[in-house]
Chains A and B, each alone.
Chain A
Amino acid sequence: MLHDLFFDYTLRTVALGSGLLGLVSGALGTFAVLRRQSLLGDTVSHTALPGIALAFLVTGTKTPLLFLLGAALAGWLGTLLVMGVTRTTRLKSDSAFGIVLSVFFGFGLVLLTFIQKQPNSRQAGLEKFLFGQATALLAGDVLVMAVVGSLLLLTVVIFFKEFKLAAFDHDYGVSLGFPMRAIDILLTSTLVVAVVLGLQTVGVVLMSALIVAPPAAARQWTDRLGRMIWLAAAFGAAAGIAGAVISSTTSRLPTGPVIVLCASGLVLISLAFAPNRGLLWRWARQLRNRRRLMVDAVLLDLLELADQHGDPRHPHRLETLQAMSLRPSSVTGTLADLNARGWVRAEGADGWILTPEGGREARRRREALGGRP
């Protein structure tokens, strides 16, 4: 399989193209996800349809580069409309996204059916547009991807500071005198181009996942923008290559969906295992906190009992401690913890006594918590 990845022309091209695509859309998607515009990718990919149809209607040729141009123009117009509608009306971005994507798509459908009725034309490849056809990638397509993708990444490098400002504190940028609206448009335009670039590989519906999934995964591992972009690019590339390779091993396994599933798998792994933010870590932290609180609680309960009884060496029954605790079932385990630290010892069948050291520790903790010494 690894041999094929390097020496099989189709697989090499497809893997390279998908990897590049994942890399670029991951890096640029980072900003969309941070700006709560995750659904922008979905919108752009749908709005591209009338652009492609118009490009064909006007020129009558099926040049991929021309399709890219038409798609990019339509996608760009769509996002400008979304921005305009949310800025000037009381409709929120979700409605604006929904209207623009569905109406543009509907209009594109009208144009496509119109084209199909024209006597001199064959099908304009709607199927390919909707679902993508990674296996049809040619070396030339990959070259276009590489060149355009590099330009996009270069834009991010050049305007990194401005884009960062737009992502995290838009109003601060305005107050500093940055032309934030122009920066918004530039940032969105890079995303439009990235989405259009991927349309013919993974298709309309799944392109939006490539914009969202790698950044969402990367977000879990770091709090720094620069690192997040690198990680998202790496995740995207990994998903692209893995998807291409996996789908090549089995027949009738479409590449686009497999790439999406790979990227989503990375998201799941990140959500579960990422240090600090991940669900597993959060769970472990909760467990640790609960245990620490229980140690304090049982220790202080024993001290309270000893104080009230007057004789510090009188054993107190497990049932008493359980009755005092909010989590009676954890008292036994906590007593074992305390015993291991030498702060309590067992006496008789189910009696427990604070050791002198445990008594000192308990008093210290009670004072630290604001109780009497």
Chain B
Amino acid sequence: MTSTQIEIQLIAIVVAVACALPGVFLVLRRTAMMSDAISHSILFGIVIAFFVTRDLASPFLIIGAAVTGLLTVVLVELLSRTRLVREDAAIGLVFPVLFSIGVILIARYAGSVHLDTDSVLLGELAFAPFNRLTVGGVDLGPKSLFVMAGILLLSLAFILVFYKELKLSTFDAGLAAALGFAPAALHYALMGIVSVTAVGAFDAVGSVLVVALMIAPPATAYLLTDRLSIMLLLSALVGIVSAELGYWAAHGLDVSIAGSMASAAGLCFLLAYLWAPGRGFIAVARRRRRQRWEFAETMLAIHLHQHEDRPEAAAESREEHLLDHMAWTPRFAREIVARAERNGTLVRRAGALQLTPPGRKLARRALAR
């Protein structure tokens, strides 16, 4: 590996972790799409700050953009507080307006400068190492690595210091307010962190892919654990895996690193979605099937139990009768009977089904519930 490759991977990992940490709270608070809104409307802030400073490298660009991110959050809240539009519509109304103004400003006044909209939206990680940070003539490393590391430390500090408060206000905002934890202030602080992260990451991975790195790793972790602390660790881990996997896939195929990272994050999510123990698609499908079988077997036991030792028992306990009484398909009925026989809840005697003592117990227990 060349030093450039190592630097790119370092930046990718730092960006992924910096995005994943605040993303955990976005996913848990059901405001994931706020990251999409913020990452688009910061274009407006970047343009305005650029007009003021006339310098694309100015730190005011980050501040201006972060302020716009907060402005988006405030506007969305003002709009949904009128109760004239719902929150999702409010998000969908606010960010296109800010984005549009940004695009128009760029088109009209910044056409000659290097500030074009697709670089904001897409970003290119491969170019990140060329922008060096030099202090007194000494080359310290890529500038975006330092910027993102700073942002990562900031959000890490924020989460560590306010861990208890964040946890409480995320899972029970009402209780947090009642106990005097100022959930609104925390909410804005969190959104501020999201804005700063989105701005810092946009020139490395572009604004749309910031969303991928903020949402996909936490969502993956959410499918795997019930504990907030583990979810934070897991999503950072998924972020790192996506960064590495994405980088090497992009390296092999010679394609966009950011896009490849987002795809890798999506792949991680897909794997968790399918195979997460107890909660994944396959586990849920299997559990539902088992429950269906157990339910049908119990129903069968109850049915036989109701008619046992009665005059109609002979007719009711015939296997064909199940088809119209239970509205089962022949195949399903056969499977259930076979399963019940295997489990020893009934026996077949001369074409009729008869409960065994365990089968009777199953029926009685189900009826007693």
Contacts and interface: CB of A to CB of B under 8 A. Distances in A.
Interface of A: 33, 36-39, 41-42, 46, 85, 88-92, 94-95, 97-99, 101-114, 117, 126-127, 130-131, 205-206, 208-209, 211-213, 216, 219-220, 252-254, 256-258, 260-261, 264, 267, 271, 277-279
24 contacts: A33-B86, A38-B91, A39-B88, A39-B92, A42-B92, A91-B27, A91-B219, A94-B30, A94-B31, A95-B219, A99-B269, A101-B208, A106-B208, A106-B259, A106-B262, A110-B255, A113-B255, A117-B255, A209-B93, A211-B92, A212-B89, A213-B93, A219-B85, A252-B111
A223 to B, nearest CB: 13
* B209, B215, B250, B266 — most chain A CB neighbours (10 Å): B215
A105 B223 CA distance: 23
A140 B191 CA distance: 45
A103 B92 contact: no
B100 A260 contact: yes
Contacts of B32: 92, 94-95, 97-98
B324 interface: no
Contacts of B93: 209, 212-213, 216, 264, 267
Given A103-B212, A257-B104, A216 B258 contact: no
Contacts of A114: 253-255
Contacts of B215: 95, 98-99, 102
Interface in B71-128: 82, 84-86, 88-89, 91-93, 96-97, 99-101, 103-104, 107-108, 111, 117-118, 121-122
A107 B259 contact: yes
B27 A101 contact: no
Interface stretch (B33-41, B47-55, B142-150, B295-303): B33-41
Nearest to B108: A252
A102 B262 contact: yes
A98 B31 CA distance: 10
Q: Which 3 A-B pairs have the closest CB atoms?
A: A106-B262, A109-B259, A103-B266
B108 A113 contact: no
B293 interface: no
B292 to A, nearest CB: 16
Nearest to A282: B82
B68 interface: no
A160 B254 CA distance: 49
Given A90-B222, A109-B209, A209-B97, 4 more contacts: A99-B212, A208-B96, A260-B100, A277-B84
A279 B82 contact: yes
Contact of A38 (B86, B100, B117): B86
B107 A105 contact: no
A107 B262 contact: yes
A117 B254 contact: yes
B261 interface: yes
Contacts, number: 205
Contacts of A256: 100, 103
Nearest to B123: A109
Nearest to B124: A113
B275 interface: no
B279 A90 contact: yes
B60 interface: no
* B84, B92, B118, B279 — most chain A CB neighbours (10 Å): B92
Interface of B: 27, 30-33, 35-36, 40, 82, 84-86, 88-89, 91-93, 96-97, 99-101, 103-104, 107-108, 111, 117-118, 121-122, 208-209, 211-212, 214-216, 219, 222-223, 250, 253-256, 258-263, 265-266, 269, 273, 279, 281, 284
A36 B259 contact: no
A107 B92 contact: no
Contacts of A113: 254-256, 259
A133 to B, nearest CB: 12
Given A109-B259, A110-B256, A257 B100 contact: yes
Contacts of A264: 93, 96-97, 100
A122 to B, nearest CB: 17
* A106, A107, A260, A279 — most chain B CB neighbours (10 Å): A106
A288 B101 CA distance: 38
Contact of B118 (A94, A110, A111, A126): A126
A271 B284 contact: no
A193 B36 CA distance: 22
Contacts of A36: 86, 88-89
A108 B30 contact: no
A98 B219 CA distance: 10
A96 B84 CA distance: 25
Nearest to B281: A88
Nearest to B211: A102
A99 B216 contact: yes
Given A38-B92, A99-B266, A131-B117, A261 B212 contact: no
Contacts of A90: 222-223, 279
Contacts of B27: 91, 95
Contacts of B33: 39, 42, 94, 97-98
B256 A112 contact: yes
Contacts of B107: 252-254
B261 to A, nearest CB: 7
A159 to B, nearest CB: 23
Contacts of B269: 99, 103
B112 to A, nearest CB: 11
B219 A99 contact: yes
Contact of B208 (A38, A102, A253): A102
A42 B207 CA distance: 14
B261 A106 contact: yes
A86 to B, nearest CB: 11
B207 to A, nearest CB: 9
Given A89-B279, A113-B255, A106 B86 contact: no
B341 to A, nearest CB: 33
B217 to A, nearest CB: 10
Contact of B30 (A92, A209, A211, A261): A92
Contacts of A33: 86, 89
Contacts of B82: 271, 279
Contacts of B89: 33, 36, 38, 212, 216
